[in-house]
Amino acid sequence: METEEKSLNFIEQIVEKDLQEGKNDGRIQTRFPPEPNGYLHIGHVKAICMDFGIAEKYNGVCNLRFDDTNPVKEDTEYVDSIEHDIRWLGFHWGNIYYASDYFEQLYNLAIRFIKEGKAYVDEQTAEQIAEQKGTPTEPGTASPYRDRPIEENLRLFQAMQNGEIEDGRMVLRAKIDMANPNMHFRDPIMYRIITTHPHHRTGRRWNVYPMYDFAHGQSDYFEGVTHSICTLEFVVHRPLYDYFIDQFAGENFAGLSPYGPEYRPHQYEFNRLNITYTVMSKRKMLQLVKEGLVAGWDDPRMPTVCGLRRRGYTAQAIRDFISKIGYTKVEGMIDLGLLEHTVRENLKETAPRVCAIFDPVKLVITNHTGESETIVAENIDGHPELGTRQMTFSRELYIERGDFLEQADKNFYRLSPNGREVRLKSAYIIQATGCEKDADGRITTVYATYDPESKSGTEGGNRKTKATINWVDCSTAIDVEARLYDRLFKVENPSAEEGDFRELLNPDSLKVVTCKAESSLREVMHKPQVIDGIAQCKHFQLLKQGYFVVDPDTTDEHLVLNRTASLKDNWQK
Ligand code: ATP
Ligand code: MG
């Protein structure tokens, strides 16, 4: 774990200044506000690390708030997965809130806005409203319904809520300023009608639902959030966030918060996380899932938290990655190589090493009696304190086809019938003597002799060879399905390309191979143990092949491993 002191990020600087100035009586409260319309992705983790991190560091509280204002797309499946993923990442919320908890308060607030002449019911279509918005340099046009009497607005808004008006026929708009240079002030929509879907928590209680801008800041305010941290696309929303709160805080204080007239939440923004060769949008991910272009939200190629977990990423590796990239106020793109580098760094120290042969050819040791013996190998070379494992060694082994060449030049140090000695890892020194081929000239068996006095860990084991190769014992080897993943998209930034992003998917992002693995892997041939609702992942390094994790498709008979990352690190600082 990294213990070095990191300099403060710009939000931490703001928080420390606020604390020094005694703002909010020293109270620090943040929230993480996902909309439960999809699974969390690694972009969300950046926000989670900020929101929960600030609360942890400054003795504050971070609440989990579901921004559930659109029943069309939301579901409890997403609520459950979000809670699970946050716990898996190792964060703890104070309370769980839902924007839907405030529907009554928000509705009453809307009525109050109408009564104060600050909101009106518009009967135009969405297209008409959009056309009248104007451009940043040209003022918009007022709706013909803008000045309808307060009584009529009240009656119509109630009719909207009563289910008397069809979806899309009317909206409630704030009456602010159609000429404001900030387009968000040009009479933003506060409420829309949705009757097509029941809400996952409030059922059919509501027929009108608040828009993000009318719900988010208010929710922060009702809860007592001090620092409302989000991503840069909300910078342009911030004045509206403040405007709505101005209507019932400060000199307009309406008793809607226990923290008094002076209290108000403040919004701060940081740069979103974007990573090369992937997409970072729930909408696009949902499309991939629904159309079967990936195996599900937890497909190991997905940048979702559950996908990364299934791929073998540890929570620590993901958090380390977020800590490496930091927080700024400029958008950018992070190299996928850095994420992979971070998980390698994390697993390097903990993942036991295991042998598996991916492209096996049989090796027969002709001077071996055939009596099986046990070899004890360290889980991680040079670290006896991290334990050992047992392998069997016998007359017939599998080795990698590429480790033998019938005719080798002097630069090939591995097996060849040229008198050169090669060590079988953790076992004996051998010398190739020849090979056998099938009718197509493909090598079927390699022959060798071994030196029984050269066993690793004995006196004779100190003899050096130029090469060490991997092997597994044929008689005890198990067949293992290894799923090898590559980047999900062919292009660096699929979101920046024109056309259909689905056509940019990498057709070679999954390769499945069956390999021969040493028998010690039998131990993990069962469903992972579940502790506190969280499945315990088993990680390995398959020698020369990369880091792997047991996939939940594993049964007692069939072991499936996902490659988390290969060993080759392309990341350069
Ligand atoms: P998406 O665009 O994938 O649908 P979203 O922003 O709509 O994401 P929300 O559920 O509204 O998803 O996000 C919850 C929080 O996570 C918000 O504060 C949002 O700013 C933050 N967040 C979402 N995506 C990213 C990202 N790529 N990087 C950093 N923070 C993000
Ligand atoms: Mg959103």
Would you mind telling me the total number of residues written for the chain in this entry?
A: 573
Name the residues annotated as catalytic: 35, 272, 282
The reported pLDDT for the residue numbered 232 is 98
Tokens of 368: 């071996």
Task: Check if 281 has its Cβ closer than 6 Å to any atom of ligand 1.
Answer: yes
Q: Confirm if 225 and 29 have CB atoms less than 8 A apart.
A: yes
The reported pLDDT for the residue numbered 537 is 79
Nearest-5° angle of CA 345, CA 349, CA 352?
120
Segments in 224-349 forming alpha helices (H): 238-246, 282-290, 305-311, 315-325, 336-348
Question: Cα(268) to centroid of ligand 2, in Å?
Answer: 16
| Residue 515 to residue 252: CA distance in whole angstroms | 71
Question: Cα(231) to centroid of ligand 2, in Å?
Answer: 10
pLDDT > 70? residue 573: no
Instruction: Tell me which residue has its CA closest to atom 14 in ligand 1.
Output: 34
The reported pLDDT for the residue numbered 5 is 66
Phi, psi for 44 (deg, rounded to 5): -60, -35
pLDDT mean over 298-324: 97
The reported pLDDT for the residue numbered 527 is 67
pLDDT mean over 500-504: 96
Confidence band, pLDDT 50/70/90 cuts, at residue 2: very low
Name the pairing type of β-strands 546-550 and 539-542: antiparallel
Q: Residue 303 CA: which ligand is closest? A: 1
| Residue 153 to residue 51: CA distance in whole angstroms | 39
Task: Check if 272 has its Cβ closer than 6 Å to any atom of ligand 1.
Answer: yes
Confidence band, pLDDT 50/70/90 cuts, at residue 4: low
Task: Check if 123 has its Cβ closer than 6 Å to any atom of ligand 1.
Answer: no
Question: Cα(34) to centroid of ligand 2, in Å?
Answer: 7
Burial of 533 (0-12, 13-18, 19+ CB in 10 A): exposed
The reported pLDDT for the residue numbered 523 is 85
What 3-state class would DSSP assign to 218? helix
Q: Which residue has the tokens 């949008």?
A: 281
Sorted by where each starts, the structural domains of the chain and their CATH numbers stand as: 119-210 (3.90.800.10), 272-352+478-567 (1.10.1160.10), 356-470 (2.40.240.10)
Instruction: Tell me which residue has its CA closest to atom 1 in ligand 1.
Output: 281
Q: Residue 43 CA: which ligand is closest? A: 1
Question: Cα(113) to centroid of ligand 1, in Å?
Answer: 29
Selection from 357, 397, 353 nearest residue 373 by Cα: 397
pLDDT > 80? residue 320: yes
pLDDT mean over 285-309: 98
Question: Cα(212) to centroid of ligand 2, in Å?
Answer: 8
Instruction: Tell me which residue has its CA closest to atom 25 in ligand 1.
Output: 43
Q: Confirm if 243 and 176 have CB atoms less than 8 A apart.
A: yes
Selection from 32, 36, 34 nearest residue 52 by Cα: 32
Task: Check if 44 has its Cβ closer than 6 Å to any atom of ligand 1.
Answer: yes
| Residue 509 to residue 14: CA distance in whole angstroms | 43
pLDDT mean over 81-106: 98
The reported pLDDT for the residue numbered 1 is 43
pLDDT mean over 539-554: 95
The reported pLDDT for the residue numbered 525 is 76
Task: Check if 23 has its Cβ closer than 6 Å to any atom of ligand 1.
Answer: no
* End-to-end Cα, the chain, rounded Å: 20
Instruction: Tell me which residue has its CA closest to atom 13 in ligand 1.
Output: 34
Please state, for a pLDDT cut of 70, what percent of the chain lies above it.
99
pLDDT > 80? residue 556: yes
Pick the more confident residue, 156 or 460.
156
Helices (H) and strands (E) in the chain, counts: 12, 27
Q: Confirm if 516 and 360 have CB atoms less than 8 A apart.
A: yes
Please state, for a pLDDT cut of 90, what percent of the chain lies above it.
92
φ/ψ bin of 56: left (φ > 0), alpha (ψ from -120 to 50), beta (otherwise): alpha
pLDDT digits (tens, 9 = 90+) for 449-489: 999 999 998 988 889 999 999 999 999 999 999 999 999 99
Average model confidence (pLDDT) for the chain? 95
pLDDT mean over 31-35: 98
Q: What is the DSSP letter of 489?
A: B
pLDDT > 80? residue 529: no
φ/ψ bin of 538: left (φ > 0), alpha (ψ from -120 to 50), beta (otherwise): beta
**Candidate from 34-38, 133-137, 395-399 with smallest mean pLDDT:** 133-137
Q: Which of 37, 40, 42, 44 to mutate to test the pocket of ligand 1 (most atoms within 8 A of CB)?
A: 44
